[in-house]
C-alpha cells in the first residue's frame, strides 16, 4: 500500500514523532561537552538545522536475526527533505540480535515507523542500539467483522465504497495501545481514518521486546482495508 500524506496526515504523524520513543542519551566526550549521538548522522542535515520534524513508514521484510530487508518507503512526511532516504539508510544498519532466530512467518513484509524530532535531536526507534524493539509483539485481539461494520463510515456505506487508512499507535510495556493517529487514508472525504481510530480499542498486542527479551515501548503501524458487505467499489 502506498499513499501520499495530506497536510493533516503530515501534522499527525510528525506529532507522534516528537514523542521520541526509546530515545538514547549522548555520551560525554569532554567535561561539559556532550558528544553527538551516532544516530544523528542519519538525520537529514538541512532539516535538522531548520528544526524540521519528519516521519516515515517503511515496508520491510525481516532477516533471520531481526534486521530489516528489502525496505521500501510507504509513507513520508514532509516530502522533499530526505526523511525517506534517511529511514532507509538507518534500517539498513539496524542492529541484529544473534541470539534470536525469527521463524519464517515473522520475516514477512510489514510496516515500520521511524520518527524524526529536531527539537530533541532524536530518531525513534534508535535501531543502532540493542534495546530497540526488535521483536514486534503478536496480535492478541483484532476487530471482528461486526466491529468494522459498526464503525463503517456512513457516507461510504451509503455509496457502497471501500477504502484504506493507516493508523500509527504507541504501545506501552504491557502492549496497550495509545496516542493513535492517522498517517494516511484513501479516498479522501469518507472518514476512513476516523473509523480506524474508532477501531483502536479493539486491538490488543503482546508488548514488543528488545534483544535481551525485555519488554519495551514501541510504535506500530496498523493498515486497515475497509470493504462494505456488498463488495464495494
pLDDT tens-digit series, residues 194-226: 999 999 999 999 999 999 999 999 999 999 999
Residue 165 confidence (pLDDT): 97
Residue 74 confidence (pLDDT): 95
User: pLDDT at residue 176 above 90?
Assistant: no
Closest CA relative to residue 131, chosen from 11, 19, 23, 2: 23
User: pLDDT at residue 136 above 50?
Assistant: yes
Q: What is the mean pLDDT of the chain?
A: 86
Residue 126 confidence (pLDDT): 96
Residue 58 confidence (pLDDT): 98
User: pLDDT at residue 25 above 80?
Assistant: no
Give the model confidence (pLDDT) of 72-111 as tens digits.
999 999 999 999 999 999 999 999 999 989 999 889 999 9
Closest CA relative to residue 228, chosen from 143, 157, 164, 150: 157
The whole model's pTM is what? 0.81
For residue 132, give the C-alpha cell.
530497540
Closest CA relative to residue 114, chosen from 122, 106, 123: 123
Name which of 9-13, 130-134, 162-166, 215-219 the model is least confident about: 9-13
User: pLDDT at residue 31 above 70?
Assistant: no
Residue range 135-148: mean pLDDT, rounded: 92
Please indicate whether residue 32 or residue 138 has the higher confidence score (pLDDT).
138
Task: State the greatest distance between any 2 C-alpha atoms of the chain, in Å, as a whole number.
Answer: 68
Residue 86's Cβ-side half-sphere holds a number of Cα atoms within 13 Å equal to 30
Residue 229 confidence (pLDDT): 74
Beta bridge partners of 186: 164
CB 210 within 8 A of CB 144: no
Please indicate whether residue 63 or residue 34 has the higher confidence score (pLDDT).
63
Residue 189 confidence (pLDDT): 94
Please indicate whether residue 47 or residue 32 has the higher confidence score (pLDDT).
47
Torsion of CA 127, 129, 135, 139, to 10 degrees: -60
3-state secondary structure of 125: coil
Amino acid at each position: 500500500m502506498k499513499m501520499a500524506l495530506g497536510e493533516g496526515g503530515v501534522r499527525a504523524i510528525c506529532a507522534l514523532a516528537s514523542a521520541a520513543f526509546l530515545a538514547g542519551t549522548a555520551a560525554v566526550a569532554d567535561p561539559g561537552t556532550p558528544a553527538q549521538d551516532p544516530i544523528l548522522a542519519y538525520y537529514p542535515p538541512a532539516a535538522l538545522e531548520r528544526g524540521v520534524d519528519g516521519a516515515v513508514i517503511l515496508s520491510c521484510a525481516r532477516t533471520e536475526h531481526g534486521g530489516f530487508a528489502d525496505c521500501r518507503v510507504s509513507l513520508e512526511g514532509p516530502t522533499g527533505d530526505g526523511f525517506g532516504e534517511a529511514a532507509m539508510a538507518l534500517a539498513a544498519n539496524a542492529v541484529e540480535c544473534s541470539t534470536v532466530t525469527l521463524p519464517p512467518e515473522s520475516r514477512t513484509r510489514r510496516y515500520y515507523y521511524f520518527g524524526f524530532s529536531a527539537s530533541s535531536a532524536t530518531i525513534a526507534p534508535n535501531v543502532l542500539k540493542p534495546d530497540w524493539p526488535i521483536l514486534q509483539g503478536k496480535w492478541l485481539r483484532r476487530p471482528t467483522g461486526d466491529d468494522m461494520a459498526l464503525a463503517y463510515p456512513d457516507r461510504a456505506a451509503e455509496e457502497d465504497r471501500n477504502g484504506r487508512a493507516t493508523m500509527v499507535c504507541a504501545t506501552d510495556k504491557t502492549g496497550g495501545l495509545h496516542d493513535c493517529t492517522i498517517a494516511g487514508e484513501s479516498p479522501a472525504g469518507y472518514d476512513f481514518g476516523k473509523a480506524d481510530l474508532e477501531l483502536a480499542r479493539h486491538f490488543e498486542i503482546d508488548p514488543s521486546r528488545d534483544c535481551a527479551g525485555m519488554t519495551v515501548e514501541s510504535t506500530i503501524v496498523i493498515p486497515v482495508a475497509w470493504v462494505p458487505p456488498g463488495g464495494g467499489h
